[in-house]
Amino acid sequence: MLSWPPPALWLQEFLADKSQRALLSILAAGPIPQHVAFVMDGNRRYARMHHQEVQQGHAEGYVALRRMLEICMRLGVRCVSVYSFSIENFKRSPKEVEALMDLAEEKLIELCQHGELLEEYGVRLNVVGKKELLPVRVQLAVEKAEHLTAKNDRSILNLCMPYTSRDEMATAVQFAVQEALENDDQDAEITEKDIDAHLMTTLAGSPPLDILVRTSGVKRLSDYLLWQCSENTQIQFSSAYWPDFGLWDFLPILLDFQRKDIISALSFAVEWRKGCPRQNWPRSERYRRGRRKNRERGRVARICMGLRDRLDVILTSRNHIQEVVFNSEWQVYEAKDGEETCKFDRVIKLARERLPQIIGLQELTLESRVKQVTS
């Protein structure tokens, strides 16, 4: 059988790349998850199926990781977490563990080099887990890799190695207790928010988890991100082995996420039309609407409902505040004034002044949107 001549092969790859980019930009028009986690399972079974060495399976797994990372970055996912190595995996044969450590050491530096994937998309690398269990050479590689990408701020990649979720939760409990002891507050009460704040993923700056994907058909969490995926996270099990996992396997997962978002937005819009007062706004709703100018006051307000308990209120005005994020108790979660984070008390003051008007606007636009959608 004749193989493709080189120019035609190049053309085939070029067209495949272009069509992938087009599909991703179409998908990016809808809701995109902020944080996606992958359990990269099935490398060894993939290798056995293709009559290869186990190390070759792990190498193919690394290629799949790069592929998925690029897809997520092009979609605009802010944070990707991958389960590279569990603390339990130290029980494997010393030869395999050694090969995995070699792979980790080599690929960590490769990923963070100048001109490479992480730099191209502005991704900051965090290695999450009990790093003291790693061999010294890998710890040095981790330190170097984290240092190389420390200034990147567009996205985050959490490489969980060696990691177990119970270890993370126990460490968070320890840190929370230590903090309370240091503050020496006799009436201190540790709440679940305190534990959440001390988790390794939160300390690395990760947003709440939206989707967790486990490959190779196994339907377990296997001690991965148990706390983070306990609420408001879609857990998807894919039957493909990790080295085979690609955009076509990820597409239904993404579409499921978008459907949930759109349905929540529509149901919220219908509720709002019934005259739901502000204090009864349902949580975990999301919708997005276009910009409307308030010509009378010369201000533009765009309101998006965030996932879970966040309400994103975007105020642009002569005070130049561009985005304010509230949680359901109307406490400021995050605020950005152009490029800088502005002071919370100023934002709170402005938000309290302007919220009644914004709610008025919201009623107007939602009603018209509901008419569009339901007609």
Partner 1 sequence: MSWLTYTVLCFIHALYSIYKSVSSYWKRFDHAPQPLNAPRTKLPTHLALLLVPDDDSPFEQQKDDMLQTVEHVASWCKDAGIEKVSVYDREGLLQDSSMDLRDRLQDADDSPNSSTESEPEYPLTPPLSDVSESRTLTPEMLPPALQLYTIRIPSSPSKRKRDTRNIVKRRKPNSSERKPEIQPITLHLISRSTGKPAVAKVAQHFLQIHAQSKPHALDLSITLEDVGTCLEGERGLPPPDLMIVHDMRPHTRHRPLELHGFPPWQVRLTEFYQTRPDPLPTTCREDEVGSSSSILAESEFRRALDEFSTAEMRLGK
Q: Binding partner 1 by CB under 8 A: which of 12, 19, 230, 341? A: 230
Name 51's Cβ contacts closer than 8 Å, sequence gap at least 6. none
Angle between helices 344-374 and 247-273 (to 10 degrees): 90
Sole residue written with tokens 């240092």: 147
Amino acid identity of 328? S
Question: Strand pairing of 79-83 and 35-39?
Answer: parallel
Touching partner 1, residues 299-358 (CB under 8 A)? none
Touching partner 1, residues 149-188 (CB under 8 A)? 165-167, 169-170, 173-174, 176-178, 180-182, 184, 186-188
Is residue 256 a contact residue for partner 1 (CB under 8 A)?
Answer: yes
Is residue 195 a contact residue for partner 1 (CB under 8 A)?
Answer: yes
What are the backbone angles phi and psi of residue 280, rounded to the nearest 5°? -105, 15
Question: Strand pairing of 234-237 and 79-83?
Answer: unpaired
Q: Binding partner 1 by CB under 8 A: which of 218, 266, 300, 350? A: 218
Q: Binding partner 1 by CB under 8 A: which of 2, 29, 296, 329? A: 29
Contact 244, 70 (CB under 8 A): no
Task: Give me the least distance between CB of 255 and partner 1, in Å please.
Answer: 5
Residue 200 Cα to chain centre, angstroms: 15
Is residue 220 a contact residue for partner 1 (CB under 8 A)?
Answer: yes
Is residue 25 a contact residue for partner 1 (CB under 8 A)?
Answer: yes
Is residue 132 a contact residue for partner 1 (CB under 8 A)?
Answer: no
Identify which range of 13-21, 102-110, 258-266, 313-321 contacts partner 1 by CB under 8 A. 258-266
Helix, strand, coil in percent for the chain, rounding step 5: 50, 15, 35
Contact 215, 38 (CB under 8 A): yes
Is residue 227 a contact residue for partner 1 (CB under 8 A)?
Answer: yes
Contact 289, 365 (CB under 8 A): yes
Nearer to partner 1, 149 or 257 (CB): 257
- In the complex, which residues of this chain contact partner 1 (CB under 8 A)? 25-27, 29-30, 86-92, 165-167, 169-170, 173-174, 176-178, 180-182, 184, 186-192, 194-195, 218-223, 226-227, 229-237, 252-253, 255-256, 258-260, 262
